[in-house]
Amino acid sequence: MSIEINNLSKKFKNTLAVKNLNFKIEKGKIIGLLGPNGCGKSTTIGMMLGLIKPTAGSVLINQKNIENESNRTKLLEKMNFISPYIELPKKLSVEENLKVYARLYGVKNFKEKINDLMKQLNLYDLRSRQTGELSSGQKNRVSLAKALVNNPEILLLDEPTASLDPDVGDYIRGIIEDYASNQNATILLASHNMDEVERLCSEVMMMKNGEIIDRGKSSDLISKHGRKNLEEVFLKIVRE
Ligand code: ADP
């Protein structure tokens, strides 16, 4: 599935959080979204999921507007996300949480699907533990299992490895990479981890003050801005 964003803007009272964004993501691509805190990444992702109503412009998923209610229901069946703002119900066990989401998404053979995901993400031994009692690395793996439960064709990942140690972060990146190549999924990855973005993304969009101010392959951006790595490009753009 493809993503097309046309003249998308969002104003909250006096804050223009997203200003006239335009971009396309073709099916099967992993695109990074980089930018400092408060630049509008989460608001953009919220609008892509049809959770935040744009002030202007449109989000087309497979050429269908996500704001249209009948489109949205069908499209969201094939989409999923990770968001730092949404916690899984704490009192439910790992397995119960995954069951709830699998049933919400109408997953066929959901028991088998959940067992496979729990095994793949090293959650099987934790399956009866309450999700609220897990460490942040363990919770993160449950969030990823939830995000993959409906075999999404579009994944919107808002800082999927924030606050993880390098080992768990690397493990999660490996799973995302495998999923993307096996399923030919379309992925938008908002992250502050530059190595993650360089490793996973074929292209990067640089966002600042609600606008995309540059876009390209990591290597092209690095040479264009005359810097050694993506982190230096990021710092240059943010401080300019
Ligand atoms: P990022 O994800 O890049 O950190 P956000 O999209 O969360 O940025 O925020 C962009 C801007 O919009 C910020 O100035 C933030 O304070 C503002 N903002 C986000 N959500 C709301 C809201 N619900 N009400 C008012 N302002 C908001």
Distance 37 CA to ligand 1 centre (A): 9
- Percent of the chain whose pLDDT exceeds 70: 100
pTM for the predicted model, two decimal places: 0.94
CATH topology of domain 1-78+152-169+183-240: Rossmann fold (3.40.50)
Distance 17 CA to ligand 1 centre (A): 6
> Is the pLDDT score of 206 beyond 90?
yes
For 32-64, how does the pLDDT look when each residue is reduced to its tens digit (9 = 90+)? 999 999 999 999 999 999 999 999 999 999 999
In this prediction, residues 196-210 reach a mean pLDDT of 95
The whole-angstrom distance between residue 129's C-alpha and the CA centroid of its chain comes to: 26
Ligand 1 geometric centre to CA of 60 (Å): 22
Backbone angles phi, psi at 16, to 5 degrees: -90, 90
SS (H, E, C) 1-39: CCEEEEEEEEEECCEEEEEEEEEEECCCCEEEEECCCCC
**Which pLDDT does position 234 carry in this prediction?**
92
Supply the pLDDT for residue 142: 95
* Residue 194 burial (CB count, 10 A): 19
- To the nearest whole number, what is the mean pLDDT of the chain? 94
How far is the centre of ligand 1, averaged over its atoms, from the C-alpha of 8 (Å)?
15
By most ligand atoms within 8 Å of CB, the mutation choice from 15, 37, 206, 234 for ligand 1 is 15
* Ligand 1 pocket list (CB less than 6 A): 12, 15, 17, 35, 37-43
Question: In the prediction, which pLDDT does 168 show?
Answer: 85
Is it the case that residue 66 has pLDDT exceeding 90? yes
Cβ-Cβ contacts under 8 Å for 66 (sequence gap 6 or more): 48, 49, 50, 59, 60, 72, 75
- Segment 151-165, tens digit of pLDDT: 999 999 999 988 788
Give me the amino acid identity at 127.
Answer: R
For the chain, give every residue range classified as CATH 3.40.50.300.
1-78+152-169+183-240
Per residue in 83-136, pLDDT tens? 888 889 999 999 999 999 999 999 999 999 999 999 999 999 999 999 999 998
